[in-house]
Amino acid sequence: MIGWPPFGLAARILCACCVLVAPLAVAQDTARRSGYQDMGRSLQAMQDDDMANPAMLWVQEGAALWTRRAGSADKSCADCHGDVGGMAGVAARYPAFAAGLGRPVDLEQRINLCRTDKQKADALADESRELLALAAYVARQSRGRPIAPPDDARLQPFIAAGDALYRRRQGQLNLSCAQCHDDNAGRKLGGATIPQAHPTGYPIYRLEWQGLGSLKRRLRNCLVGMRAEAYGYDAPEYVALELFLLSRARGMTLESPAVRP
Amino acid sequence: MGHALVNVPASVKRGDAFEIKALIAHPMETGFRPGPNGVLLPRNIIQRFTCTYNGVEVFSLTLSPAIAANPYIAFFTVATESGSLTLRWTGDKDFMAEETVPITVTA
């Protein structure tokens, strides 16, 4: 599988693509498409069948973690939240504003707040198996629901910051997210179809990763592909971009945990 | 060690073929990939998968390094008697995982 970002050939194709991109700010397709619709039938079938979707291995692990006590509070997620069914709809409205912090947090960060503040345990590492398993288990409860960003005025400045980041050219290739995902969505970049970048399936099982990964990891991959410096894992830029993408995908169906090439 | 998801129909008519689907968490490290320090990562794959139906082997598979991580294996067998199916994965680094699922065969 020759995926994009890994460099070599892909990077050279990218350079050709910049030349092509600049003068070509063509009218964009107004119909929104999930990355799911841009995948081949066999990958769609893999995502649709819980028995074939490898992300379900993480969901299974998340179910075990949900009832496992942790930290000096010696409490499990279930001790406070009860049945995981109560999490239905939650993933569809994250990132959300965390009043205590005065800023928005994404689902993984929200889970880690419960780890540190409620369970009195150490935060789980970014992209760790456990954190992804819990995120997948919680997100699975919202599958089929419409993406519903919170109507929260406090989020506005962060969405605006994400919007600006999305349109800002950056990196050695001097590209913006919008140049690929708005202006050239549906076209090819190497072997990949450029999707519209809707966060409909996170965390995703990505074939190129041979594993599960968060939206943040996906964004880091795009930044590296643009030859921009990826922000640190706890940088506010990711949450701003995630919020902007969420507001842009309002009403689209959540597929989590999805499969992507 | 190792966790798997196994799916078989709850009941099948005697003589009918039914599908068994199995997904297991495993890195399937090929042995050909260099790690961050340039040294090859040691091979770590599942080598063999078997399925026995009431003690009789009905399906087996030898896996190779070219198979992706978290292998998904689906196959059919014919319903004979009620009982159980035992699925077993073995491989490098003494990897062993076993799952047993019940099957009900109706007349």
What one-letter code names the amino acid at A67?
A: T
Crossing angle of helices A55-66 and A129-140, rounded to 10° = 90
* Residue A163 pLDDT > 90: yes
Long-range contacts (CB closer than 8 Å, 24 or more residues apart) made by A218-222:
A221/A5, A222/A5, A222/A177, A222/A180
By DSSP bridging, strand B95-106 and strand B11-13 are parallel
Q: Which of B3, B7, B69 sits opposite A61 (nearest CB)?
A: B3
Query: What's the CA gap between A197 and A226, in Å, rounded?
Result: 15
- Residues of A in Cβ contact (< 8 Å) with B74: 52
pLDDT band at A29, cuts 50/70/90? very low
The phi-psi region of residue A109 (left if phi > 0; otherwise alpha if psi is between -120 and 50; otherwise beta) is alpha
SS3 assignment, position A260: strand
Share of chain A above pLDDT 70, in %: 89
CA dist list (Å): B83 to A5, A132, A177: 49, 36, 56
Superfamily, domain A6-19+31-49+148-260: Cytochrome c-like domain (1.10.760.10)
Residue B49 confidence class, pLDDT cut points 50, 70, 90 = very high
Residue position matching structure tokens 């066999």: A42
User: How confident is the model over A8-25, as pLDDT tens digits?
Assistant: 334 334 443 443 443 333
Tokens linked to A78: 């279930």
Give SS3 for A180: helix
Q: ipTM of this model?
A: 0.87
Taking CB atoms and an 8 Å cutoff, what residues of chain A touch B70?
54, 57, 210-211
> What confidence category does residue B2 fall into, taking pLDDT thresholds of 50, 70 and 90?
low
DSSP 8-state symbol, A120 = -
pLDDT tier at B3, thresholds 50, 70, 90: confident
Q: Do B21 and A211 touch (CB under 8 A)?
A: no
Inter-chain residue contact B25 with A57, CB threshold 8 Å: yes
Is residue A12 classed exposed, middle or buried when 0-12, 13-18 and 19+ CB atoms within 10 A define those classes? Answer: exposed
Which of these, B74, B66, B57, B59, lies nearest to B29 by C-alpha position? Answer: B66
The end-to-end CA distance of chain A, in Å, is 9
Q: Hey, what are A128's tokens?
A: 């760790």
Alpha helices per DSSP H over A67-207: 77-81, 107-113, 129-140, 156-167, 177-181
Give span(s): CATH 1.10.760.10, chain A. Answer: 6-19+31-49+148-260, 56-140
Interface of B with A (CB under 8 A): 3-5, 7, 21, 23-25, 27-28, 68-70, 72, 74
Tell me if residue A222 is catalytic: yes
Q: What is the mean pLDDT of residues A93-114?
A: 97
pLDDT at A27: 42
B36 pLDDT band, cuts 50/70/90, is confident
Q: Record the tokens describing residue B93, joined without a space.
A: 């680094």
Mean pLDDT, rounded, for A98-125: 97
Domain at A56-140: CATH architecture: Orthogonal Bundle (1.10)
Lowest mean pLDDT among A18-32, A62-76, B7-21, B92-106: A18-32
Q: In this predicted model, what pLDDT tens digit does every residue of A30-62 receive, in sequence order?
A: 689 999 999 999 999 999 999 999 999 999 999
What's the angle, vertex CA A5, arms to CA A238 and CA B29, rounded to 5? 105
Q: Domain ranges in chain B?
A: 4-33+40-106
CATH class of B4-33+40-106: mainly beta
